[in-house]
Amino acid sequence: MQGKKIVVGVTGGIAAYKSAELVRNLVKLGAQVQVVMTEGALAFIQPMTFQALSGRPVRSSLLDAEAEAGMGHIELAKWADLVLIAPATANFIARYSHGLADDLLTTLCLATSAQVVLVPAMNQAMWKHAATQRNIGLIAELGTALVWGPDEGAQACGDTGPGRMLEPEVITDKTVKLCSGQLTPKQSAEPVGTKLIGKHVVLTAGPTREALDPVRFISNHSSGKMGYALAEAAAAAGAKVTLISGPVHLACPAGVSRVGVSSAQQMYDAVMSAVQKQCDIFIATAAVADYRPESVADQKIKKNNDEMIVRLTRNPDIVAAVAALPEKPFTVGFAAETNDVLNYAKGKLARKNLDMIVANDVSDLSIGFNSDSNRVSVLWKDGQHDFGKRPKTQLAQDLIDFIADIDGRHLGAIGQSVLK
């Protein structure tokens, strides 16, 4: 970062206070930082703060008599190696996406050949609004700027949801990687998705554990990788995502709310609670145990006999229960089979009243359980589509796009036209 010239644009949001820490971090790493503030930003934080941290007077006027030939926007546009707007409010994003040049910051963004990065910060409802998502989509389509964030969590207004500005440490790290060439602009950009904006997606992932005694349980080989990849892809597409997960060794994806469970009954209770509150799409990727021990020993079972007989009883069928709700969400099941995969999947699709089922062959050790890749077939009442072998992260994006592109309420009628 030594000697890198960075314009930090600060717009009028409460997150402007975080920008002071960002400037401090960049200067500490050796960057030359010029802060440009909008009129709105001046209401949230004093220019003197940024001047003290950057060692440079703050610029805010488009017509600056002290700039070279009075053309401050051109001077700064040529000077910058990177233009980093943090926070980028909904208002600034709207003006920038439509090419307005009505203040110093928007004008220099149009005039510069340097990479522009937007770090959104706004109320969660403003972020989800169709107009904001259209503007973000337009920026992505034109390729005029990278978009980093937003994060999800508690907001100053009391709401909770997507719209928080990334923390200064995260922005700093991404800036260092971008400027040092560790990441290309495409790699450093956050996925910009709008297909599932306003939708609540509930997913299950991983195995369940059915206790025999305090130290032993019945389980399976599910790693949870497919479910976690789908949760990440759904969040990237703009959805509110609740991930109900059995025991796995995976980090929760950013922007996803995770509910940890162990047994099938716990997963059933968590799913029904989440779905009945509000759910648009339910995706059941978890490998749920069909049976559980009829009784669980209070103490560790000793090796007193040559054999042990365990009586099992059926667990609740989670995906079938969701599909049987009077106002069910669009319900997607997974069929992990070892033989006759498609026929078993078709049977489950009809028997459980699912809208869609994703079938994969877990007898193939190169895909499925514990693998980073998968190959699946998607089936619905009137059709089928095969996804060839690919990384689970890519498959997850493809499946989420596929689901989002289809109106689940009319899947049978329009599925074929969507695939063409």
Residues 410 and 292 in one domain: yes
Which of these, 175, 177, 174, 152, lies nearest to 165 by C-alpha position?
152
- 225: helix, strand or coil: helix
Query: Would you say residue 408 lies in a domain?
Result: yes
Residues 140 and 217 in one domain: no
Question: pLDDT at position 414, please?
Answer: 33
CATH code at 78? Answer: 3.40.50.1950
- The residue segments making up the domain with residue 173 are 5-188
Instruction: Say if residue 150 is preceded by a cis peptide, omega within 30 of 0.
Output: yes
What is 254-318 written as a DSSP string?
TTEEEEE--SHHHHHHHHHHHHHH--SEEEE--B--SEEESS--SSPPP--SS-----EEEPP-H
Query: Would you say residue 301 lies in a domain?
Result: no
Q: Are 239 and 218 in contact (CB under 8 A)?
A: no
Residues 187-202: pLDDT tens digits? 666 655 567 877 899 9
Residues 83-97: pLDDT tens digits? 999 999 999 999 999
Binding-site members for CTP are: 290, 300, 316-319, 334, 348, 352
pLDDT of residue 313 exceeding 50, the answer is yes
Residues 175 and 231 in one domain: no
Picking from 166, 188, 210, the residue at the C-terminal end of a domain is 188
Mean pLDDT of 4-14: 96
CATH code at 224? Answer: 3.40.50.10300
Across the chain, what does the average pLDDT equal?
87
Please pick, among 157, 179, 252, 279, the residue that the annotation labels catalytic. 157
pLDDT of residue 51 exceeding 90, the answer is yes
Residues 355 and 384 in one domain: yes
Q: Scan for tokens 């600060």, then name that residue.
A: 10
Picking from 122, 157, 188, the residue at the C-terminal end of a domain is 188
Residues 245 and 314 in one domain: yes
Question: Which residues lie below 8 Å from residue 166, measured CB to CB, with a gap of 6+?
Answer: 86, 119, 148, 149, 150, 151, 174
DSSP state, residue 207: B
Number of domains in the chain: 2
Residues 174 and 212 in one domain: no
The C-alpha R_g of the chain, in whole angstroms, comes to: 26
Highest mean pLDDT among 135-149, 200-214, 374-388: 200-214
Lowest mean pLDDT among 14-23, 51-60, 99-108, 407-416: 407-416
Q: What is the pTM of this model?
A: 0.56
pLDDT of residue 116 exceeding 90, the answer is yes
Picking from 188, 208, 235, the residue at the C-terminal end of a domain is 188
Binding-site members are: 290, 300, 316-319, 334, 348, 352
Residues 131-173: pLDDT tens digits? 888 898 889 888 899 999 888 777 888 877 778 999 999 999 9
Question: Which residues lie below 8 Å from residue 78, measured CB to CB, with a gap of 6+?
Answer: 112
Residues 255 and 368 in one domain: yes
Q: Scan for tokens 């259209």, then name that residue.
A: 134
Q: Are 29 and 23 in contact (CB under 8 A)?
A: no
Residues 155 and 128 in one domain: yes
Which of these, 174, 176, 177, lies nearest to 190 by C-alpha position?
174
Residues 160 and 216 in one domain: no
State yes or no: is 179 an active-site residue. no
Query: Would you say residue 193 lies in a domain?
Result: no
